[in-house]
Amino acid sequence: MRMVRATTPVTVRAEWDPWVWGPEAVVQRVRGSAVDFCLCVTRRRPWSGTDMTATGEDARKWLEVARVFL
């Protein structure tokens, strides 16, 4: 998958936990629990199989490619 830089800022917020990255006043948002976020970025579960939501095309693309390297 070719990485494409987002054209607008994306904010990531883990619900019920104090995890927030990015500015508050944006249209592009990724939301969900901290547990689901960790399951997604470690590739233990696809984001569509969790309660994670993506608002906006850039946020959806970000959620599809986000991952950590342990």
pTM score, whole prediction: 0.65
Distance CA 25, CA 67 (A): 24
The pair phi, psi for residue 36, each rounded to 5°, is -65, -40
**Residues of the chain below pLDDT 70:** 1-4, 13-18, 70
Q: What is the pLDDT of residue 70?
A: 64
Q: What is the pLDDT of residue 26?
A: 87
Q: Are 52 and 30 in contact (CB under 8 A)?
A: yes
